[in-house]
A and B are shown apart, each in its own frame.
Chain A
């Protein structure tokens, strides 16, 4: 038996990925369907000299990981819809103060407490705009457990590289389902370590003075240097400023550091796209149904392909436009009322050729659900 092969829930694959990436600190408040992430890390982190704290609520959990990150830890929290709502204010603080952190949202039906034990992908827009004010954000997803592992590692890497919160948007089916994963050997996947300042102790350190490449080396808060951290617009020292130039430049910096690197950040998968007349755009557990249907139709000679998004935000507009350019129709397969649909419509040359195959009743969308719409589009009847 190869002990690197495991049969696990998606939530456990996420924990394995986080441990591989070197998570040191987790603070959270358990909520279905994400609870297993907290449960497993409560066992694993203490063994590795990490810290696990169950906080009084999701607001405190988000605040705790921000503090822990500043002191030099790789940090994560996990939640679902209602908890994700509570985290939004502090998430905005992490955007503004540029604090690396990973927030897992295993999506369930909403709004409000909604449909706790059933699947949904209704938080796509909340991941983008849940916190107020102009900002940019990174959100990743995955449709199988090997990818859950890899995207979790990637989330930590991107959080450290771009000094930003990164959201892992999984869903109930992925979180609770079990399947095989193979844990990669150490070194097999890149693991980004935090960029720390070379400024000596006792020498002035400017926490928000970018290097030539735009990156901001960090100093573990409470150790070598004294500096200020605030949710207000701030100068290179981290002190509050309402100087219009400072405000404008900081906001541009927060947005540009992500939006100017869409190509580097974007991850996706392609299935039979080369000659595809019909393209299914999907992500997360819905993508499994899309791939299932496409594979099945290909065997019958239908030219169908799948574009699976692994990066949801920043939205890969160029990729979508380019890949869908030759298609007769594009069908977005998702479990919400059309959140990625709107983005795809904005991205393609012909928005009228973009359709939605969705399911919003808490059940996983089936290949047959997609096929029914496809037949209508193809003019073959229901």
Chain B
């Protein structure tokens, strides 16, 4: 596979970093890839822009930061305004349509999906917004199998929450696939 350089961005509390860890752990533990995951850390626990850099590769990864992502996810306007310029030309830019108004200034495949709205409508719990985003990300990019994400979730969350997460992942997956069909 080609090396995937991914940046997930949003606001503290949206689960961006958690999603980044789940995605890269799925790649390493269940798909035998190499991955690095890092994040920019501020002093705040909630609020403020957060960003997590992920590299997935079959070969060894040395420099762990992403300079030009080929996949960029922005879950807030602030994140979009800060990071949209760094995307690799021709890359995938995935945003949530409720929070982000895109300006289409950069050369990228813009995909704006109502992830948050759909999660609230079908599940009613904002806590799985980030899992829905992972589903959409996999739907548009096919970087790994959605089952691998569920396998990681099984090791991390209580059993009673698995169904809700599966539903959120599937919602995102469908939206993602439909958007590129």
Contact = CB atoms under 8 A, between A and B. Distances in A.
Interface of A: 1, 5, 7, 32-33, 116-118, 173, 176-180, 285, 288-289, 291-292, 295, 364, 366-368
B64 A7 contact: no
14 contacts: A5-B29, A7-B24, A7-B28, A32-B41, A33-B41, A117-B42, A176-B41, A177-B37, A177-B38, A178-B36, A178-B38, A364-B64, A366-B63, A366-B67
B28 A366 contact: no
Interface in B21-76: 21, 24-25, 28-30, 34-39, 41-43, 61-65, 67
Nearest to B38: A177
A179 B63 contact: no
Contacts of B67: 366, 368
A200 B164 CA distance: 65
Contacts of A180: 28, 34-35
A1 B28 CA distance: 10
B43 A116 contact: yes
Nearest first, the 8 closest Cβ-Cβ pairs linking A and B are A117-B41, A292-B62, A292-B63, A7-B25, A177-B38, A178-B37, A288-B62, A7-B28
A372 to B, nearest CB: 14
B143 to A, nearest CB: 16
Contact of B35 (A7, A285, A295, A368): A7
Contacts of B34: 179-180
A179 B36 contact: yes
Most chain A CB inside 10 Å of its own CB: which residue of B34, B43, B65, B67:
B65
Contacts of A176: 38-39, 41
A32 B45 CA distance: 13
Contacts, number: 63
A180 B29 CA distance: 8
A284 to B, nearest CB: 12
B30 A1 contact: yes
- With a 10 A CB-CB cut-off, give which of B41, B63, B64 has the most chain A CB atoms: B63
Nearest to B25: A7
B46 to A, nearest CB: 15
A115 to B, nearest CB: 10
A203 to B, nearest CB: 54
Contacts of B39: 176
A5 B27 CA distance: 12
B64 A179 contact: yes
Contacts of A285: 64
A2 to B, nearest CB: 8
Interface string B70-89: 00000000000000000000
Contacts of A288: 62-64
B63 A5 contact: no
Contacts of A116: 43
A7 B29 contact: yes
A178 B41 contact: no
